[in-house]
Structure 1
Amino acid sequence: MDMPPSEKTIIALGSWLDSEAGTYVRAWEQQCLDRLTADIFGFNAMQIGLPQMNALGANRMPNKWLADTHIDSASEWIPSVAIAHDLGELPFASKSLDLVVLPHVLEFSREPHQVLREVERVLRPEGHLIICGFNPASLWGVRQMAGRLVGSAFLPLDGEFIGMPRLKDWLKLLSMEVDHGHFGCYAPACKTTQWLERFSFLEKISAQCWPYLGAVYIVHAIKRVKGVRLIGPAWREQKAGVTQGVVVTNKVQKKI
């Protein structure tokens, strides 16, 4: 059976991540993902697509899922696999997940808006969403655009880079509040580790001088629901009000 074009492209990106340039990107993203997910608590976490990356490795939730459109031996790092016919239709109940990670899924999806809507549906209120993407406003973005014109792209051709401002607008429409944005990988689009290491001096300089020009970014957003209030403070306010009422009543009885 033929696979849809979007699935073929994601698989192509997975094999690209095994290249020297892909290893460079994956190392930075893994470090950032480990830092972000380590302190997110709950019961159910899910990674969508790209089983070549262990986006939930540092997270301590008891239930971890990998949602993908096919079974791959590379997904053995995670015990539970959910097979989805379409990533825009996830086999999970509404408001059932505490954390969802999308590693480069939106830019290689035929309907990225539908994927985001579906993620918003399965996330519980105050749930966390982490998105990895390639930055079009970077040297890699320029290289990819030039490659499209000459037919020699640096990354799979069918991928569409989504800028962080554009992604923030999409998330805002879904009541997802961006908590943090992170940029990394400032070396030019080189294919060998030798050349990537030669430009390693750019990492620290660029992060300080022009931080928004990194080749990749990671966005951390939180699902906000209007009208949701913490129960603890409400109890304290109610208790305080009742106590004051008792004191006043006692004083009145004494005067009588």
Structure 2
Amino acid sequence: MSIPGLDAWLNTPQGHYVLDWEQAKLDEALADVFGFNALQLGLPERDFLRSNRIPLRLCIGPSGSTQLRCEFTQLPIASQSVDLVVLPHVLEFYPDPHQILREVERILIPEGRLFILGFNPFSLWGLRRHLPGRPQGFPWNGQYLSILRLKDWLKLLNFELDRGAFGAYAPPCKSAQWLRRWRFMEPAGDRWWGFAGSVYMIRAIKRVHGMRLILPAWSNRKLGAKALTPIVRKEHMDG
């Protein structure tokens, strides 16, 4: 299943503006994530794993130039076998985001890292979706998820929200010229209204509660008297 309007939007000034910010943030964040297996779910048009040094890096999804075709709700990946998962605009544009997160939790190892990219409903871009004459297609046709809602979902799956960032504070202008004119809002937004960025990146860590070690019953038995019988050593001396 492809996202309506995605291909056309990727080549627009808006698409470059948003994805460039996301790529820069992930390049920085993923450089120090280590392991053996990393997955990017969806959006194969961008290599969000490019800065990561994990040996096996795959982009998977139901359509596009992915390296493995599959549904996000039924990942053909072994449980607890992946160290890193990146979800670029998957949860707000595909059905059953809860099941997608459950599958991600299943395949991640304990302490595995999850990075989520999403559109912020409490932003100028989120507001644009509710105004008259709303554009059709991507990115206006998604079900934007707030950070608070994502935090609740992740907590239920034993994820701990580690850190996050908002960005792309400019209004959803269509032309590259106007987007450049609004660049001054980037440092101002980070300082004064960080929650209002059009997109966000959050990192979560899969936590596993400590297990109690149950020892075998025989380890608690007292040793019998015979087991403690000393060994008598005989010494021979020359007369």
TM-score (norm 1): 0.79
Contact 2:84 2:114 survives alignment (8 Å):
yes
Residue 183 of structure 2 aligns to a residue in which SS?
coil
Does 2:10 align with 1:25? no
Counterpart of 1:83, as a letter, is R
Moved >2 Å (runs of 4+): 11-15, 149-158
* In structure 1, C-alpha distance between the alignment counterparts of 2:110 and 2:137, rounded to whole Å: 39
Query: Partner residue of 2:53?
Result: 60
Residue 24 of structure 1 aligns to a residue in which SS?
helix
Match of 1:187 among 166, 170, 173: 170
Query: Partner residue of 2:181?
Result: 198
Does 2:64 align with 1:82? no
TM-score (norm 2): 0.85
Structure 1 segment 57-206 matched on structure 2, within 5 A: 57-72=50-65, 75=66, 81-84=67-70, 86-146=71-131, 149-153=132-136, 155-206=138-189
Does 2:185 align with 1:214? no
Contact 1:131 1:220 survives alignment (8 Å):
yes
Shift of 1:228: 6.3
Match of 2:209 among 196, 218, 226: 226
Shift of 1:158: 3.1
Counterpart of 1:66, as a letter, is C
Residue 95 of structure 1 aligns to a residue in which SS?
coil
Shift of 1:155: 3.6
Q: Tell me how large the CA RMSD over aligned residues is.
A: 1.6
**1:96-123 CA deviation, whole Å, 9 max, x = no partner?**
0000000000000111000000000000
Query: Partner residue of 2:28?
Result: 35
Contact 2:6 2:137 survives alignment (8 Å):
no
**1:162-217 CA deviation, whole Å, 9 max, x = no partner?**
11111111100000001001100000110111000111111111110010100000
Residue 129 of structure 2 aligns to a residue in which SS?
helix
Aligned length, in residue pairs: 212
Shift of 1:154: 7.5
**1:4-56 CA deviation, whole Å, 9 max, x = no partner?**
xxx232x6224312211100001100000001111000000000000011110
Structure 1's 14 and 102: CA in aligned 2 closer, same or farther, altered over 3 A? Answer: farther
Residue 87 of structure 2 aligns to a residue in which SS?
strand
> Where do 5+ consecutive residues of structure 2 fail to align?
213-239
* In structure 2, C-alpha distance between the alignment counterparts of 1:165 and 1:15, rounded to whole Å: 31
* In structure 2, C-alpha distance between the alignment counterparts of 1:38 and 1:83, rounded to whole Å: 26
> Where do 5+ consecutive residues of structure 1 fail to align?
1-6, 76-80, 230-256
* In structure 1, C-alpha distance between the alignment counterparts of 2:5 and 2:45, rounded to whole Å: 11
Contact 2:38 2:56 survives alignment (8 Å):
yes
Structure with max Cα Rg: 2
